[in-house]
């Protein structure tokens, strides 16, 4: 298999130990050994040694959410996310992607989003139209909010309106490239999608990125892939936290006690942990999850739910169990995809809130 020398080194050096076994959100949810990072490393190692065919492990390669919990916990420094993403890229180049992944990739290339959607919700369209004028600040909403959870996109717009911010929202928003990167890694198609987006973002002084997945792509992956963005790029949570600190956004504390679900893109990749906590502290009483900040446990997403819906439900159910296990009954998210994942669980023990819900009261 045509992996980089660095990835081959990581695969060959992994001793398939149990160090990261306990931290995989999918492995913990399913209870299946195949879903752990060590098992995935073993499968890729067997392909590299021509013991099995790549086709035999491709479904398993797409059972990884690339959350990086295994990387964070591996004290020897091996990176299962790196060689998993390279395996996806190799499969794409060799025409060996599973059919359900090919469909998602084609959707990304044809419509700019993996869901293949082209029409926006009517209420969101109206909210966007109210901010169609050119300003110095762009609110970049992202595919998940625009096409799957439009009510949350509208709430994000209302938060900035409440603060009196002058901002633009694009009716035709370019894809950030994060979905293609998840599906086929650092391909030419992924990088071209990122370059197109970068040109649009450069038309603004400040870009406020609502979805942590997009924020990770624009602030971290673009640099890794040689894509330059001249605009100042900030996360939605960091932007809102600053508005509250500066007194431009006035909020009230409800007295509600909540726990915070750290999105791994913010806490592990962008090292942003305190900004959302600042927002929550202004609006409610914060109680920490047992695993928080860099140790956070992923709660599922919309993209993987397109081909692993039952597993995503189990992942969300397990995270909600983590909430109730510490006696909490309300959880706040800063990730629209995790919000949607948690919301899909049929339960009434935990109230699921977004940062926007707290701010808007």
Residue pLDDT, tens place only, 100-144: 999 999 999 999 999 999 999 999 999 999 999 999 999 999 999
- Domain limits of the chain? 5-97, 122-242, 250-360
Whether residue 71 is predicted with pLDDT greater than 70 in this model: the reply is yes
- In terms of DSSP bridges, do strands 206-209 and 137-140 run parallel, antiparallel, or are they unpaired? parallel
Whether residue 8 is predicted with pLDDT greater than 70 in this model: the reply is no
What is the structure's pLDDT at 15?
A: 62
Q: Which of 243, 265, 240 is nearest to 72 (CA)?
A: 265
What is the structure's pLDDT at 38?
A: 80
Q: What share of the chain is helix, strand, coil (3-state, %, to 5)?
A: 55, 10, 40
**Least confident among 6-20, 86-100, 132-146, 307-321:** 6-20
User: pTM score, two decimals?
Assistant: 0.93
- For the stretch 173-222, pLDDT in tens is 999 999 999 999 999 999 999 999 999 999 999 999 999 999 999 999 99
Does residue 238 contact residue 265 with C-beta atoms inside 8 Å? Answer: no
**CATH class of the domain whose range is 122-242:** alpha beta
Name the band, by pLDDT with cuts 50, 70 and 90, for residue 80.
Answer: confident
Give me the chain's average pLDDT, please: 93
Does residue 299 contact residue 341 with C-beta atoms inside 8 Å? Answer: yes
- For the stretch 9-42, pLDDT in tens is 666 666 666 667 778 899 989 988 888 888 888 8
Q: Which of 355, 360, 349, 340 is nearest to 281 (CA)?
A: 355
Q: What angle do CA 298, 303, 309 make, to 5 degrees?
A: 80
Q: Which DSSP symbol is given to 76?
A: T
The domain 250-360 is placed in CATH, from the list 1.10.287, 3.40.50, 1.10.357, 1.20.120, at 3.40.50
Name the band, by pLDDT with cuts 50, 70 and 90, for residue 322.
Answer: very high
Burial label, 108 (beta-carbon count in 10 A; 0-12, 13-18, 19+)? buried
Name the band, by pLDDT with cuts 50, 70 and 90, for residue 1.
Answer: low
Answer yes or no: same fold for 122-242 and 250-360: yes
Rounded to an integer, the average pLDDT of 160-165 is 97
Q: Find all residues with CB under 8 Å of 309, minimum gap 6, and list them.
A: none
What is the structure's pLDDT at 73?
A: 78
**Least confident among 17-26, 152-161, 187-196, 314-323:** 17-26
Q: Find all residues with CB under 8 Å of 185, minimum gap 6, and list them.
A: 85, 86, 88, 89, 92
Say whether 127 sits in a helix, a strand or coil. helix
Q: Find all residues with CB under 8 Å of 287, minimum gap 6, and list them.
A: 257, 258, 259, 326, 328
Q: Find all residues with CB under 8 Å of 254, minimum gap 6, and list them.
A: 283, 284, 358, 361
- In terms of DSSP bridges, do strands 232-235 and 137-140 run parallel, antiparallel, or are they unpaired? unpaired
Does residue 259 contact residue 331 with C-beta atoms inside 8 Å? Answer: yes
What is the structure's pLDDT at 10?
A: 65
Burial label, 99 (beta-carbon count in 10 A; 0-12, 13-18, 19+)? exposed
Burial label, 197 (beta-carbon count in 10 A; 0-12, 13-18, 19+)? buried
Rounded to an integer, the average pLDDT of 267-285 is 96
């Amino acid at each position: 298999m045509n992996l980089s020398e660095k990835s081959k080194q990581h695969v060959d050096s992994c001793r398939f130990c149990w160090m990261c076994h306990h931290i995989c959100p999918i492995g913990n949810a399913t209870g299946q050994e195949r879903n752990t990072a060590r098992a995935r490393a073993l499968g890729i190692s067997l392909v590299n040694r021509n013991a099995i065919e790549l086709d035999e492990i491709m479904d398993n390669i797409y059972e990884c959410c690339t959350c990086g919990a295994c990387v964070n916990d591996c004290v020897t420094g091996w990176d299962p996310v790196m060689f998993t993403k390279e395996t996806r890229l190799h499969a794409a180049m060799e025409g060996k992607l599973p059919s359900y992944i090919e469909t998602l990739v084609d959707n990304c290339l044809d419509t700019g989003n993996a869901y293949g959607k082209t029409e926006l919700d009517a209420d969101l369209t109206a909210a966007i139209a109210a901010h169609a004028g050119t300003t110095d600040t762009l609110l970049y909403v992202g595919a998940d909010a625009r096409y799957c959870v439009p009510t949350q996109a509208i709430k994000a717009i209302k938060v900035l309106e409440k603060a009196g911010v002058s901002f633009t929202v694009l009716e035709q928003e370019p894809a950030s490239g994060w979905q293609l990167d998840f599906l086929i890694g650092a391909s030419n198609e992924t990088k071209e999608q990122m370059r197109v987006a970068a040109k649009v973002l450069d038309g603004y002084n400040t870009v406020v990125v609502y979805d942590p997945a997009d924020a990770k792509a624009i602030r971290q992956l673009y640099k890794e892939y040689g894509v330059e963005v001249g605009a100042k790029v900030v996360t939605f949570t960091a932007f809102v936290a600053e508005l509250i600190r500066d007194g431009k956004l006035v909020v009230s504390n409800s007295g509600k006690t909540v726990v915070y679900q750290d999105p791994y893109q913010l806490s592990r990749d962008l090292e942003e942990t305190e900004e959302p906590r600042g927002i929550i502290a202004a609006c409610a009483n914060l109680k920490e999850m047992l695993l928080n900040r860099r140790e956070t446990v992923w709660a599922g997403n919309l993209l993987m739910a397109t081909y692993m819906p039952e597993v995503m439900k189990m992942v969300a159910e397990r995270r909600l169990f983590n909430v109730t296990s510490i006696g909490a009954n309300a959880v706040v998210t800063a990730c629209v995809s995790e919000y949607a994942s948690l919301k899909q669980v049929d339960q009434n023990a935990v109230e699921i809130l977004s940062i926007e819900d707290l701010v808007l009261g």
